[in-house]
Chain A
Amino acid sequence: MKRLFSYIPSISTLERYILPSLLILFFIQFHYYKFYAQKFGEIAHYTDTSKPNMYEQIQNQHQYAELYQLANKYRNTNVQLFLVTTLQEREYLDYVTTYYQNQNSNQKKTPVYLTELKLMTNYFFYPRVVRSYSLRQFKKLKPIPNSIVIADLDLRYSLPIQSTLVQIPTGPKQYIMNIKKVPKPYYLFNVTQ
């Protein structure tokens, strides 16, 4: 033990007593650090640094990768875009928008919901605004051919116009960020003739 401490410069008597505790504390904390560093780092296995456009490679492992690709394709076009959201649980309540939209109203507040899909759609498509519809509102619409529909529900089983909707595949990703909640599935459709 004496030899061990002789390798550590300027260690005081008090430190000798607390050093084992410090080491244990460090290794407990390091166990957490290692876990997170590994989980975050796994994405590097699915990217090739020698290839060009690293941004796209990383983005392809994004949980909303297909939505991102769609946004790149249609952000600057006139193609009609529809976002259909059906999730209306309390956890999706958008307090901020609900507050602003109802601040001048004395009636019962109309709740507004915000899902991760809506959030990512607005983010990827910015500055273009993708209007959001409820399922009931969307049923009344007649999207023109080649329009794009983004939904949190498989609309092919919910709409009479199902035959006109062709699903754009959203495949599973190689990289799973398993420290985060698993995202809700989302569906992308192309409207055909």
Chain B
Amino acid sequence: MREWIFIASCFILFQYVIGYIFLSFLWKNYKISMLIYVPIAWVIGNALSIPLLYCLAFYNLLGYITPFTGLVVFTLSCFVAIAVTVSNKNAVHISKRHIVLLSVVLLFFFPLIKNSVFSFLIEWDAVAEWFMKAQSFFYSPGIWGNQLFQNSAFLYTERSYPLGGSLLISVFYRLVGFVNDQTVQLYLLFFYLNSVILGLGFLNDRIRNISLLSVLLIVLSFFISPLFIFFSHNGYMDMVIANVFISVVVLYIFLLEDKKQRIAQYLIPITLIAGAGMLIKNEGVPLFILSIIFSYLTALFKYKRMKPVAISGTVLIYPLLAKTMWEYYKSASNINYYFNPIGFEDIRSRTTLIVSHYLNTLQYTPTQGVTLILAFFLLIIFTTILIAKRQYITLLPQLLLLLQLGSYTYFYLVTSLPLDIQLPASFDRLVLQLLPALFVVLVYQGEKVTKIFSNKQFV
């Protein structure tokens, strides 16, 4: 047990380390709060790993991932990280307050961390799709000749779904040498923990004169609803997408607000992270398209800069290469997506059903807790004030969120599956994907509204 937890911890640390190395080159001479740097490093680490794993799977080279190669790569990356730290000591801003906040959060979530390594796998989608595919990549070195993609007995695994999460899980299986679907849940939990830390860091960074106690109470109240706890490590990929989404929104807000116009420094991580989202789950595709459009247009029209867009466009090749390989494989193997739009038939009845379900979800406290409805009203109040004060730019992150929700609504409107079954079965998880980003948007708008009040612009 200890050995598996140790390997899982090294695998988790590895993602932080490569993310840290990447950011220390990209954000050289920045002074960024530890509570933002650490979770962004985590998601960048994963975003760099996923396209690479796609390439390895495409060329049937996953067999090269062994405990030995894992140890060599991990050791090397640690050495590089140490060298980078020595040459750039002031990259991460660490204060006593940051350490206290991080320690309290980790202590608070200790029961969840402990539970994640004691959990067997039982949830439907986790078993049917993500872990089943991860298992197939343990037994097979890649996608070509992989039984899961060839045998009709596994059609229900939805073979056309992206592989990012499954490939990450399979790396852990290869490192421990067997299909350990229990300990790997610790790895998945870190997508949740990093979302919490990023929310914490963002609140602490944006609203500076707030006490430590209030920061903790606000963040924990928002992030401990049953929906989060339930999906934090049960093997679903929705929390992973939620982590991708919150990271993209935070970076996009930094891009909007950066007075020094360090555009490429935010566009590149947005490109990589959103690209990884597209390779993890289908919901990542609209997120990818929207975040690329929003961030690139902001660079072009707000800052009138072309060069950072060109540089980030080059980085875009990396996730798109992985996507192209996967699409080529699907086309060559005749694997198509079962989604067959029926057009806007019975649109009125569908809209009624969808809106009614959205409203029910909003007030269903056994899964959402009480914060969702509170957040909804806060969002309306903040939006009204910001529109009244004509601060339209500050509404862009919220628009990103709404358009993502709009993309889900579009799919519900045209899906060929029975809506009365699909909607209740999936919408909770889609809400979960948006929630951490909603928290960030609320903090951002709250900060703007507070400034309006403190400058007495409102009265």
Q: A32-B369, A123-B127 are in contact. Are A58 and B118 (CB under 8 A)?
A: yes
Q: Which residues of A contact B416 (CB under 8 A)?
A: 99
Say if the beta carbon of B122 comes within 8 Å of chain A: yes
Q: Which residue of B lies closest to A11 (CB)?
A: B211
Say if the beta carbon of B95 comes within 8 Å of chain A: no
Asked if A22 contacts B127 (CB within 8 A), the reply is: no
Q: Which residues of A contact B (CB under 8 A)?
A: 8-12, 15, 18-19, 22-23, 25-26, 28-30, 32-33, 35-37, 40-41, 43-44, 47, 49, 54-55, 58-59, 61-63, 90-91, 94-97, 99-101, 114, 116, 119-120, 122-123, 126-127, 129, 131-132, 177, 179-180
Query: For window 120-173 of chain B, which residues contact chain A by CB distance below 8 Å?
Result: 120, 122, 124, 127-128, 131-132, 135-136, 139, 147-148, 151-156, 158
Besides the contacts A37-B112, A43-B119, what 18 more A-B pairs have beta carbons closer than 8 Å? A8-B211, A8-B212, A9-B212, A15-B211, A19-B217, A26-B220, A28-B369, A29-B222, A32-B369, A40-B112, A40-B229, A41-B111, A43-B118, A44-B115, A116-B124, A126-B136, A129-B153, A179-B230
Counting chain A CB atoms within 10 Å of each CB, which of B135, B154, B211, B222 scores highest? B211
Q: A12-B210, A119-B128 are in contact. Are A62 and B120 (CB under 8 A)?
A: yes
Say if the beta carbon of B321 comes within 8 Å of chain A: no
Q: Which residues of B contact A131 (CB under 8 A)?
A: 153
- How many chain B residues touch A (CB < 8 A): the figure is 56
Asked if A33 contacts B209 (CB within 8 A), the reply is: no
Q: Which residue of A lies closest to B132 (CB)?
A: A123
Q: Which residues of B contact A (CB under 8 A)?
A: 1, 4, 111-112, 114-115, 118-120, 122, 124, 127-128, 131-132, 135-136, 139, 147-148, 151-156, 158, 180, 182-183, 209-214, 217-218, 220-222, 224-226, 229-230, 338, 340, 369-371, 374, 416-418, 421
Asked if A25 contacts B115 (CB within 8 A), the reply is: no
Q: Which residues of B contact A23 (CB under 8 A)?
A: 217
Alpha-carbon gap, A116 to B127, bound state (A): 10
Counting chain A CB atoms within 10 Å of each CB, which of B152, B180, B369 scores highest? B369
Asked if A99 contacts B340 (CB within 8 A), the reply is: yes
Q: A32-B224, A97-B155 are in contact. Are A11 and B122 (CB under 8 A)?
A: no
Q: Which residues of B contact A116 (CB under 8 A)?
A: 124
Asked if B229 contacts A36 (CB within 8 A), the reply is: yes
